[in-house]
Amino acid sequence: MEPVFSIIFSLLVLLFSVVIHEVSHGLAALSLGDMTAKYEGRLTLNPLKHLDFFGSFLLPLLLLVITFGKGPLFGWAKPVPVNPYNFRDQRWGSLKVALAGPLSNIIIAIFFGLIIRFFPLEPVFFDFFSIIILLNFVLAFFNLIPVPPLDGSHILFSILPEKFNYLKIQLSQFGFLILVLLIFSGAINFVFKFAHFTYLWLVGF
């Protein structure tokens, strides 16, 4: 695949993958009794309803420029609004909603991974599907990092005992700074390595 087509396709896959991720959060909240995302018009696959300037545009472009189009690519959309006080399951509702986003990306990756594994494909489709798999695994694993505002922090906060509330406060205050440092220091590379390993395992290489 030509590099320019690969970049364009990767950006489109990233865009719709983050949209599906956020809509999955909203649908999970709706299933638990919270109508907030529905009322805000966020239960739609229309990207314009979900785009975030930094996570959907600036960060992916910076990564493309910094790595000359050869490095890892990821981003995020605006978080879907939810009100956990509306959840029927007050104990585990937030955990379920937080898990819904990464699980949607993992399901997408597994679907296309099984196609590669069990069906003969033309090289161009192999390349297209590989990009879909890798980007969705990256999105899932990246969002599972337990640092606000990522889903992993909501998962962590849901299972931490109340005696660790001070940790929740500290992470909430400095989470975005920690996240930026992880991204631009290169420490985030473990996400891409794990995504690549999982891709190879899934498709049977």
Q: What is the DSSP letter of 58?
A: I
| Helix intervals (H) in the chain | 3-31, 36-39, 59-66, 93-118, 123-143, 151-159, 165-185, 189-203
Q: Would you state the pLDDT for residue 167?
A: 82
Q: Would you state the pLDDT for residue 3?
A: 72
Low-confidence ranges of the chain (pLDDT < 70): 1-2, 67-75
Of 74, 66, 106, 82, the residue nearest 33 (C-alpha):
82
Q: Would you state the pLDDT for residue 60?
A: 74
Q: Do 76 and 17 contact (CB within 8 A), yes or no? A: no
Residue whose pair of structure tokens reads 């109340």 in the numeric block: 162
pTM comes to: 0.89
Catalytic-role residue among 2, 22, 122, 162: 22
Tokens of 143: 């969002």
Distance from CA of residue 41 to its chain's centroid? 20
Q: Would you state the pLDDT for residue 67?
A: 62
Q: What is the pLDDT of residues 17-64, one digit of tens each?
A: 999 999 999 999 999 999 999 999 999 999 888 887 777 777 777 777
Specify whether 22 is catalytic.
yes
Q: Do 88 and 32 contact (CB within 8 A), yes or no? A: yes
